[in-house]
Amino acid sequence: IPMGGNLSSPTSFLLLGFSSTYNAQVALCLGFLLIYLVTLLGNLLIMNLVWLDAHLHSPMYYFLGHLSFLDICYSSVTLPKILKDSFSSQKTISFAGCITQIYFFLSFGGSECVLLAAMAYDRYLAICHPLHYAVLMSKKICHCLVAVSWLSGSFSSLIQAFLAAHLHFCGSKVINHLFCEIPFLLNVSCSPNARFNKAVLYALAGTIAMGSFLLTLVSYVHILWAVLQKGAGRQKAFATCASHLTVVFLFFGAGAIAYLLPHSSTSKEMGKVLALLYAIITPMLNPIIYSLRNNEVQGAIRKALHRALSQRSTKDTGRAAEQPLPSPCMELGC
């Protein structure tokens, strides 16, 4: 801490975002808007399909519905603020708003980590213990796994947000990032307990993220071993896991690169691009991946479209039937 430094909590921070011209900012804004719309529409589609289609009323799709809801919440923490800042000359965020953003971002991110591990465990039971699957993955257990994912994310983020709220700052209030994130907040803090906060961050992140990833990895090692031993149904077994594996590697891979690599080895602009990947792009890609690689989801989409078209044609037929026929007097001109 500088001698005579005035430790205090700022009222607001300045988010630098991407340093570019006005035309580039317009292009970025349109791109972010398109990503947000695709994220909302894609995940809402998955949620509605899981809710309405009886063929998707199974544990795997129950978890998928919660994953879609998490993705909407996760992207909504950061994207609306980024969109607002795209055309703003002062990209500021209040101290309370920054702490709130950190809390919800970490909460939804941590919950998604645990939920992805629960989905891997579900695939493990379905493939390795098919005869006992209905008992081992009952509705009660599904509800418990989802509750654990939400509570674990909320609890760990509450600790980190509480510690971040007690940081002090004596110099620059400029955060060279797209949104508030603890590593970047610690970079501008001169608080004596900043190192303690950083240790807690990596301890909790290691417990939630790395723990979830290791559980996912163990599940898939058992799945691979069972498939290689049995041989039969190998292609179908891997087909049910392909979408989930793609999502896992996208989410955990981007987060690991952003958090584990030293900041000196990556440029500041590259750090922002990585943040876009795990905070914005991944929630958009998840419903696309599950739609393209899952035959049951594709079938549910086709049935929903067919049902919507049938209802529309029925309404059009009904309207045509309700129209009065021309009278003979009108046709004769009397």
Residue 53: CB atoms within 10 A of its CB come to: 17
Q: Quote the pLDDT of residue 176.
A: 81
Q: Note whether residue 302 is domain-resident.
A: no
Q: Quote the pLDDT of residue 331.
A: 44
- Helices and strands in the chain: count of H runs, count of E runs: 13, 3
**Centroid of chain to Cα 321:** 48
User: For residues 39 and 69, is the Cβ–Cβ distance under 8 A?
Assistant: no
Q: Quote the pLDDT of residue 6.
A: 52
Q: Which of the 8 DSSP states describes residue 87?
A: T
> What 3-state DSSP class applies to 12?
strand
> What 3-state DSSP class applies to 13?
strand
Q: Quote the pLDDT of residue 320.
A: 57
How many percent of the chain have pLDDT more than 90?
25
Which range, of 13-22, 112-121, 201-210, averages the lowest pLDDT?
13-22
Residue 332 pLDDT level (bands cut at 50, 70, 90):
very low
Is the pLDDT score of 237 beyond 70?
no
Q: Note whether residue 328 is domain-resident.
A: no
Q: Maximum distance among all alpha carbons in the chain? A: 104
CATH code for the domain of 105:
1.20.1070.10
More confident residue, 225 or 297: 225
Q: How do 92-94 and 174-175 pair as beta strands?
A: unpaired
Exposure string (b/e) for 182-215, b if CB count within 10 Å is 16 or more? bbbbbebbbbeebeebeebbbebbeebbeebbeb
The token pair that represents 175 in the structure block: 């955060």
Q: Quote the pLDDT of residue 93.
A: 87
Q: Note whether residue 106 is domain-resident.
A: yes
Give the mean model confidence (pLDDT) for residues 130-154: 92
The token pair that represents 60 in the structure block: 């795997």
Q: Which of the 8 DSSP states describes residue 196?
A: H
Q: Quote the pLDDT of residue 184.
A: 83
Beta bridge partners of 93: 13
Give the mean model confidence (pLDDT) for residues 243-268: 72
The H or E element that residue 70 is part of is helix 59-86
Distances (CA, A) of 54 to 32, 61, 134, 217, 295: 34, 11, 17, 31, 15
- Please give the backbone phi and psi of residue 175, each rounded to the nearest 5 degrees, phi first: -105, 115
Q: Note whether residue 329 is domain-resident.
A: no
Mean pLDDT of the chain: 80
Q: Quote the pLDDT of residue 313.
A: 65
Q: Note whether residue 273 is domain-resident.
A: yes
More confident residue, 133 or 228: 133
Q: Note whether residue 306 is domain-resident.
A: no
Segments forming the whole domain that contains residue 45: 12-295
**Computed from CA positions of residues 14, 15, 17, 23, in that sequence, does the dihedral angle turn out positive or negative?**
negative
Is the pLDDT score of 333 beyond 60?
no
Question: How many domains does the structure of the chain reveal?
Answer: 1
Residue 1 pLDDT level (bands cut at 50, 70, 90):
very low
Q: Quote the pLDDT of residue 326.
A: 54
More confident residue, 223 or 290: 223
Q: Quote the pLDDT of residue 9.
A: 62
Q: Quote the pLDDT of residue 236.
A: 66
Is the pLDDT score of 36 beyond 70?
yes
More confident residue, 65 or 197: 65
Q: Note whether residue 320 is domain-resident.
A: no
Q: Quote the pLDDT of residue 53.
A: 80
User: For residues 19 and 179, is the Cβ–Cβ distance under 8 A?
Assistant: no
Q: Note whether residue 162 is domain-resident.
A: yes
Q: What is the value of pTM for the model shown?
A: 0.83
Give the mean model confidence (pLDDT) for residues 240-249: 82
Q: Quote the pLDDT of residue 334.
A: 43
